[in-house]
Amino acid sequence: MRIHNVYADENGETHFRNIEVDWVDDSLSSVFSVLESASGIKFRKTAGDYDFEWHPAPCRQYVINLDAGVEVTVSDGETRVIEAGEVLLVEDTEGRGHCSKSVNGKPRHSVFIPIN
């Protein structure tokens, strides 16, 4: 399972990389990843005309899109569309940050999970 990851390098420039989930437990006819600590959960509804300029993430957090995608641009120029059902880990809490905007004018419901 792939997780999109936005991170800042030592110069504050932001980049994408892919993280693969490590499966560590096999039980109940499933495989599980390691348990991560989280400080809460937020649900978010974003308007279809959402277009947020450069901003760092407020904290390390997972963003899970439920019903629509979001276009994210990092400072090295790469742009990705994170589709519904995909997971994004934002870790660019310092530096220039990233831009994000709605895709095809669709409103989006998502889940934000701050992690420790």
The residue ranges of every structural domain in the chain are 2-24+37-114
Which fold would CATH assign to domain 2-24+37-114? Jelly Rolls (2.60.120)
Contact residues for 30 (Cβ-Cβ < 8 A; gap 6+): none
More confident residue, 21 or 28: 21
Is 28's pLDDT higher than 90? no
Confidence class of residue 8 from pLDDT cuts 50, 70 and 90? very high
CA separation for the pair 45, 109 (Å, rounded): 5
CA separation for the pair 92, 85 (Å, rounded): 22
Contact residues for 116 (Cβ-Cβ < 8 A; gap 6+): 36, 37, 38, 39, 60
Across 37-41, average pLDDT: 96
Residue linked to tokens 């809460």? 40
Q: Which tens digit of pLDDT belongs to each residue from 64-106?
A: 999 999 999 999 999 999 999 999 999 999 999 999 999 999 9
